[in-house]
Amino acid sequence: MASEQNERIQATIKQERKRLLHFIRQRVNNASDAEDILQDVLYQFTEYLRLGSQIDSITGWLFAVTRNRITDWFRKKKETPFSEYVREIEGEEVLFLPELLADETMEANNPMMRKFMSEAIMQAIDELPEDQRYVFLQHEIEGKSFKEMSEETGIGVNTLLSRKRYAVLYLRERLAEVYKEILDN
């Protein structure tokens, strides 16, 4: 039963992922934010089905949830004072470093600041569990798709997606300390 459910989830994600991402990208300019929204939707979908819930129209359900997530994202963006750098994750403001690194107003071009931020990022990545670190680095640094990683490792796409999600959430929480140090100085 669980394997049938996993196959159904994987097939649906494979079929709908590109359409959902395109739908999000039409409304959200930042690719990273769009990917986060998509991951949230796919995670919610997976959890919903694993709880045994029935969905009459999967496509309709996915697009309704996606619209709601986009709306939530815009609300949070307006509420957050440093909306260009911070996102709310589980009720807590967390820094999103790639955008900060590119911002000259935060003195990211200062060689010492860049070194400090780079070291903090590498240390946080090193702290990740091996399976999460692997997926994060392969996807973000090497540019591999989840499908490619799945074919190489034999690990399901949903599992890889989940590992990446947990890695990103951890990195955001961990790097919030760096954000506070930067703002305090």
pTM to 2 decimal places: 0.43
Indicate the fold that domain 95-185 takes in CATH: Arc Repressor Mutant, subunit A (1.10.10)
pLDDT (average), residues 65-90: 64
**What is the per-residue pLDDT for 185?**
54
Q: What are the φ and ψ backbone dihedral angles of 108, each rounded to 5 degrees?
A: -70, -20
Confidence of residue 155 (pLDDT cuts 50, 70, 90): very high
Give the model's pLDDT for residue 3: 77
Token pair for 114: 């860049």
Fold exhibited by the domain 1-79: Rna Polymerase Sigma Factor; Chain: A (1.10.1740)
Confidence of residue 129 (pLDDT cuts 50, 70, 90): very high
Distances (CA, A) of 20 to 28, 42, 59, 108, 138: 12, 10, 9, 34, 23
Supply 177's token pair. Answer: 């300390």
CB of 112 within 8 A of CB of 105?
no
Asked if the domains 1-79 and 95-185 are classified in one and the same CATH topology, the answer is no
Q: Where are the domains of the chain?
A: 1-79, 95-185
At 36-67, the pLDDT tens digits run: 899 999 888 888 877 777 777 888 888 888 88
**Which of 169, 166, 168, 160 shows the shortest CA–CA distance to 14?**
160
